Copies of this chain bind each other. A is one copy, B any other.
Amino acid sequence: MTGTDPAHRSERRATSSAAAAAGAQIQRRRRQRGMSQAELARRTGLSKATLSQLEAGAGNPTIDTLDAIAVALSIPLTDLLTRDAAPETLHLPATAPNDEGPTRELLRRISGGHSLELWRLRLPAHTSIDGVPHAPGTVEHLLVASGRLDAGPADDPRSLSTGDLLAFAGDAPHSYRTGDVPADVTVVIASPAIG
């Protein structure tokens, strides 16, 4: 092949961070479902060898390969490219409304690539539900439109009232619990992506 750039060659051969991250995600999602490599190979039509190498981070899968895996795992293709982050719980109490003039408060800013979901959660009084753990690195934001509730990570729930903001890791078990009053909560779920 005439004048191929050798440096470039070797770069392609090296394990890319994107491929390594995808491999880790594949393994994580597969195990989450109690699925073996062999079984995933059967469902995707890929070979066990390919899956083994990809999960080891030693691959460079094509988009079709990733798509086949995503389909077999019943997840969006982009979820295979999500990367772990280290979110911490943040509780931002409501501020007193200013009597005069409008107020604009920046509650939270997240840089980088994210997919976004907006949910509304309506909880009657004396209700308790568990949140489904999301993709690793997902951060969940609760904005209490009205009412009161205890919510957050299972190991660190917080007491929230109208106007409060709570941000916490959405990839761990978490729950929402109301007492004597119902609650109306806006939930913003941000999943990080590789960029």
Contact A112 B18 (CB under 8 A): no
- For A115, give the chain B residue with the smallest CB separation: B111
How many identical chains are in the complex?
A: 2
Please classify how large the interface on chain A is, using the bins under 10, 10 to 19, 20 to 34, 35 or more.
35 or more
- Known interface pairs A66-B63, A145-B145. Does A78 touch B112 (Cβ–Cβ under 8 Å)? yes
Partner of A193, one of B76, B109, B124: B76
Partner of A61, one of B62, B76, B112: B62
Q: Report A82-106 CB contacts with B as 1/0, cut-off 8 Å.
A: 1000000000000001111111111
Instruction: Provide 23 A-B residue pairs closer than 8 Å at the C-beta atoms, listed in order of the A residue.
Output: A1-B50, A1-B68, A16-B64, A22-B63, A60-B62, A61-B62, A75-B113, A78-B113, A78-B194, A81-B81, A102-B129, A103-B121, A105-B119, A105-B120, A106-B117, A107-B118, A107-B119, A108-B116, A110-B115, A111-B115, A112-B193, A143-B145, A193-B195
